[in-house]
Each structure stands twice: as C-alpha cells, then as structure tokens.
Amino acid sequence: MKKVDGAESLLQAHGKPEKEVYFDNGNSGWVPPEVVEAMLPYFNKYGYGHPSITNRPGWEAYEAIYEASEQIKKSIGAEFPEEINFTHNFTEANNLAITGTALANKTKGKEIIISEIEHYSVMFPCEELQRKGFKLIKIPVDKEGFVDLDKLSSAVNKNTLLVSIMAVNHEIGTIEPLKEIVEIVKDKNPETIFHTDASDAYTKTPLNVKRTGVDLLTLSSHKIHGPRGAGALYVKKGVEVEKIIYGSLSSQPLWPGVENVPAIMGFSKASSLAFKKFKEYNKYLENLRDKLIKGILEEVPDTLLNGPLGNKRVSDNANISFLRVEGEAVTVELSLHGIYVSSGSACTSRVLEPSHVLLAIGRKYEEAHGSVLFKLMRFHKREDIEYTLKVIPKSIKRLRKISAIKS
C-alpha cells in the first residue's frame, strides 16, 4: 500500500470546502452516536470475554451475540436465531455461502448459476469453483439490470446445485424480483439451493426469507450505518453448508475464531434503528434520490442514468455516467468541493477498468468509465442535495474543458 501522490497537498491548496456531503455510503458509512454507544460497553465494561469460554465475561459476550441474532432474525423473518451466522463482513459471508454450499453438496450437482452483475465476492468464488471442476453459468441482464428470467429458467436443471442472484445490485440499484426468481428456480429443481446477496437491499426493501423462499441470505453491517467488522449469513435450517476456514471453536460453528462482539452489537443496533421507521426513512430517501437524479439529468448535458427509475430502484442509489469525462476525475473534483462519491464499482476504484455491471447492461467503455455512484443516507438533508446540484454542473463543465475525451 502506498500513499496517494499529491492528494493531500491538492486538498490543502484548495482550502476548506463550503459544505461537506458524503455520498460513499455503499463503501463505508457514517455510524450514528446511538450505534457507537451500544458498542462501547463491549470493549471494557462487560461482554469483553470470549463467547465460548465459561466465565462471566464469556457468558455476557455469548448473551450479547444471542441478542443480536434475535434482532437480525426478526428483521428478515427467519425462524431460529441459530440460522444467523455472524462473519466479519459481507464478503466473508458471500464466500461462505458459495464455497461452503458447494463443498457440502457437491454430490447433488456440479452446476452453479449467477447473474452477470453479481458482486465480486460472489463472482470470484464461483469462478474459483469453476477452475476446480464446477460448471458456472452467468445469466445476462437487460439494460436496467433485471435478470433474464427466460434464460434463467432454461439454465436450471437436475444438476443445478446452487443459484445466487442478488436482491439489489450494489452499483445501479436494480431491485430484482426475488420471489419470482426463487419460484422459477425451485419449480425447475426443488433441490437447488438458492442464495441471495441482500447486503444492499437490507433496510431499504422488504426482506422476508420465508415469503421469498431463499435458503441463504447475506447481510452487511457497514451498509446500514453499523460499524465495519460485522456481516451475517442466514442459513435456513436443514441446508448444509461446510465451513471454509478452520480454527478454534466459537459460538459461530461456520466461522471459527473470536467473534467481534462490539461490532456485532453495533450491527444489531443499526438494524433496529433502521427498522424503527422503515417506511418513513425510505420514502424520505426516495424523494432525495429523485431530486438528485432529476437535477443532474436536467442541468448537466450528456449524462446517462444507469439502472431503472422509480420503485424499481432502491431508495438510496443514484448512478450517473457523465460523458466525455473520467469518473476518477469527477471524484477528485467533487472532493475539492466537499462532495464525496465513488467512481464505478467500489471494488475497482483504484483499477482503471470499467465496471462489469455497466458493461453487462450495455454501456460502452467510455460511458462506463464516466460513471459516478451517489449512495444517499437518511441523515442527508435537502440542502445537501441542493448544494450538490449547485456544484456538479460547474465541475463537469470545467472537467470537460480540460478533458482529452472529446466525443
């Protein structure tokens, strides 16, 4: 890891911005005081022990994890707290879901199906399994990111071991028809195990594991204003998943090692806060999102919205391609004005490769390179959006003047 050349001096030379607006919540978000307060006792007051050790601090830690399991269970309509398996992030949970399922059930079939727009923490373990003898099928999506249901139905057969389709796309906010997708898969092969990465859907769209019929479901703490260091995998009772790392026993049979109790308690608190006013928060987010999208598309020429409009799009997502500029240049330019966004996929932001998601929905390379992701939060105010809409047209105009991309 090396220091970013010139970034600090550039920001210092530009001076303090008029206002700061953080739109990078998909990568790492602000943690509210109530969540921090819920975590603090588990560092040094109580529950700081090892949850698997039979002493008082260990019992307190175990009780805390059980309490968090109950909250997460309730929030997704699961039946048993034991169905919630805590990891340290959603990348670990996705890897456990994919690889653990394949290892535990390889005698049932060797075919795995995913969409072309899955997160890399789903796509990469699937590709690794392909190198080890499994067959991987990637289902295409339409221009808004919706999975081709006919092609999905045609792909499922008696050898299909696992299907993994995300509930909401991390980059373009497409809300997939999850219940319909699960029904298509189960109708073709009831034995096929279905996993969904719901980390971008959680607290933004209704999730109920019983109603949708999923077998495995991934959640993330840092995407719901919880701390980094906690994620979860729901595993339906009776579904076989083999652990993929080995070590000391813990209260998490599928993920050995000492649990991050403070982060888990923060995750639980963030979940309860988000669901306290679920409809109100998301309606508010939708209004801010629509104001931002409408303002950019109207005030900045040669822009493209990536993903669908309206209720087909998750409430906190706005992904815009600015033609004739590089997305990386936009992130730096907006940072100078205190507006913090990400360019393209968060996982490729330091690699000059276009987003695989945007290419899958039919964007040209130059369109994908100019993409910027705005991830809103319920703590934003209307004046944050108004300030952003004041800054962006001037910033894009300036960048286009100095850009080497002319068409």
Residues with a catalytic annotation lie at: 347
| Token pair for 5 | 């050349």
- Biggest CA-to-CA distance, the chain: 68
| 322, β-bridge pairs | 303
CB 104 within 8 A of CB 168: no
Helices (H), ranges, 132-277 = 149-155, 178-188, 209-212, 261-276
Backbone phi, psi, residue 217, to 5°: -150, 130
- The amino acid that residue 212 corresponds to is T
Rounded to a whole number of angstroms, the distance between the first and last alpha carbons of the chain is 35
Tokens 């392909």 -> residue = 130
CA atoms 107, 109, 111, 112: torsion sign? negative
Q: Which residues contact 180 (CB under 8 A, 6 or more apart)?
A: 149
CA atoms 68, 70, 75, 76: torsion sign? positive
| 193, β-bridge pairs | 162
Q: Distance (Å, rounded) from C-alpha 202 to C-alpha 200?
A: 6
CA atoms 393, 397, 399, 404: torsion sign? positive
Q: Which among 106, 103, 122 has a CA at the least distance from the CA of 114?
A: 122
For residue 257, count other CB atoms closer than 10 A to its CB. 14
Helices (H), ranges, 277-381 = 278-299, 327-336, 356-360, 365-369
| Token pair for 164 | 């993994």
Kindly report the CA angle at 40 between 35 and 45, in degrees rounded to 5? 145
